[in-house]
Every structure is written in structure tokens, then in C-alpha cells.
Structure 1
Amino acid sequence: MKGYKVFNSDWTCRGYQYEVGKTYEMAESPKCYEMGFHFCKRLVDCFNYYNFDPNNKVAEIEAIGEIDFNDTNSKCCTNKIVILKELTWAEVLDMCNTGKGNSGKRNSGNYNSGDYNCGDSNSGNYNSGHCNSGHHNTG
């Protein structure tokens, strides 16, 4: 199963040092939140668990071992993972937003900054409509 994983800026996560192109395995069966290499099926879901920080490393992975899912299926866990490739921050932004020229996460429309905006040219968070600044605006 393909997925996505976020790492600290030095490619570490939960005591493991990772490297692109390598395979990591543990003998234990995976259990979400307890044991295993955690990842998300959708890239945007990773940022429910990690800061949306361009200093972090983000990679496309493949889970090739046993897989455990949490109750929402947004977070998964495996006992054997391959780090396929690093994603640039531009790729992360493109994959986490729809429209063009957006920064932040889960924006739709064009040229939004902040998070969860729909419409065009909004700044701040949770705006709908066009040309809003601040938070929770409509219109």
C-alpha cells in the first residue's frame, strides 16, 4: 500500500533514523498508536498528526508488511516500510490544496494563504468567499 509519512528535519521519527530508498522492518505485528511505522494513505491527513512545517521532511512510502488501521482509517501502521522518495515542499502544497497559488493546507480556490479557505484571495483561516482577511469570514 502506498502512503505518506512526515519526519523531523533530520529524517528521524520516534527514535528511528530514516533514509530515502531504504527498507525498515520490525518483527512485531503493527498496532496503531502503539507499535510500528505510522503513515497516512492521504498526504493531507499527515498534518492532523504533524505540524504543517516546511522544515519537516515528507516522503512517499510503501507499506509492504502487515498493516493496521485506526478507527478513521486516516492513520495506518506497518511493520515493514520502504521510503520511496522525498517530496519537495512545493509538491506537498500542491497535493494538500486544490486550485492554484495556495499556501497553507486544505485550501480550495486560488491564491489563498492560511488554512481551510475556499474562494479566492483569502488570508487567515476558515474563510469562504473572496478577498477575506482574518479568520472565520464569509462573503
Structure 2
Amino acid sequence: MKAYKGFKKDLTCLGYKFNEDGINKTDQANCRKNGFHCAENPMDCLDYYSDWKNSVYYEVDAAGDIDEDEIDSKISCTEMQLVKRLTIEQLLFEGLIYMVEHPERNWNGHVKKECGKAYNGFVVVRGKNPIASGNLGDILVLLQEEENCSAIEEVAFLKIDGSRCYPKIDYTVKGIANDQEEVCA
């Protein structure tokens, strides 16, 4: 099963050092007690490893005995293989894909409704007319829902670089917010 996992930079999690090559195995998988934890929603990794500058993220293959958590998309498994290391940009992009593919699922706490300003290097905003802003180097992820449902009809993934996207400017999925659009206060 495709999932996502955060680690400390040395690939440890709760004292266990993960092997980057091969399959990591453990005896039991109970989401609240033991096993190797990962998440179906990439954004949930940021709940457990929010300091992305001192963490690493991977796409993983979760296998063996699998137990689900009812709190978020966290799962526990007895076998985990690290597939691919992800940058913060790649993790956020995978989160965007997850929300497009599963628009009815619960939102992660890092997703803002309608309006948001980047904090800690990024912001993810979802809604009928999402608007976001940030500082130089920040990433803005915008997901616009269809008028009468929560299906995603348009997205934008922007990096405030100072040449194409500018700091402290409000952006929508179409570009710079115009005067008729509600701006973030």
C-alpha cells in the first residue's frame, strides 16, 4: 500500500533506525501501540514531523499486517519499505494530489479554508475561492472546489521566488487576486 512517512534526519522514528535499502520488519501492528507508522494522506506527516527543515519524508510501501487509526489517515504496518525520499515541495504536491483524488475525506489541520498566509515555509488553502500569500521562498498550494460540491476543479502550486511570484501578494488559482476578490486580512 502506498503511504508516506516522516523521520528525523537520521531516519529514526521513536528510537528505531529505518533501513533505507530493503524491507523493515516488526512483529505487531497496532496503530495506537506499535508497528511502523505511516499515513495515507501525505499532509498527515506534517502533524508528526512538522519541523520539515530537520525532518525527512518518504513515500513508503506499507505491507504485512496493517492496522488503521480513526484519528487521521495514520496506519501501522509490520513491513515497510522506503520507496523514494521527498522534498517538502514534493510532499506538498503529493498532498495536493491526495486531496484531488479524495475530495470528501477529512481535511488535515494544515489545510486552511478559503484564505491563508504561509507559515513555516508553506500554506495550503482550499475552498470555493482560495486565496494565499507568503514571503520569499514560501510555497502556496491552492485547491479550488466546484461551486456545488467539494470536488477539486482547479489547483495552483506556487513558490514565492520574487521574479514570477511575489512576497505579500494575494494569489488565487488564476494568479494575482483582483480587487473584486476577497483578500486575506
What are the equivalent positions in structure 2 for 1:54-93 lying under 5 Å apart?
Answer: 54-93=53-92
Regions of 4+ moved over 3 Å? 105-109, 115-118
C-alpha deviation, 1:26, in angstroms? 1.4
Q: 1:7-36 CA distances to partner (integer Å, 9 max, x unpaired)?
A: 001111111112323211112x31012110
TM-score by length of 1: 0.71
Report the identity percentage. 26
**Aligned residue for 2:133?**
121
Greater strand content = 2
User: Any gaps of 5 or more consecutive residues in structure 1?
Assistant: 99-104, 124-129
Which range is displaced more, 44-53 or 111-120?
Answer: 111-120
What are the equivalent positions in structure 2 for 1:1-80 lying under 5 Å apart?
Answer: 1-27=1-27, 29-80=28-79
Greater helix content = 2
Higher relative contact order (CA 8 A, sep 6+): 1
Partner Cα distance (1:49, 1:66) in 2: 22
Name the SS of the counterpart of 1:90 in structure 2: helix
User: Any gaps of 5 or more consecutive residues in structure 2?
Assistant: 98-109, 136-168, 172-182
Checking the alignment, whether the CA contact within 8 Å between 2:38 and 2:75 is kept in structure 1 is yes
Greater Rg, structure 1 or structure 2? 2
Checking the alignment, whether the CA contact within 8 Å between 1:20 and 1:86 is kept in structure 2 is no
TM-score by length of 2: 0.55
> Superposition RMSD on alpha carbons, in Å?
3.0
Q: How many residues align?
A: 121
Partner Cα distance (1:51, 1:121) in 2: 20
C-alpha change, 1:73 and 1:116, in structure 2 (3 Å) is closer
**Aligned residue for 2:164?**
none
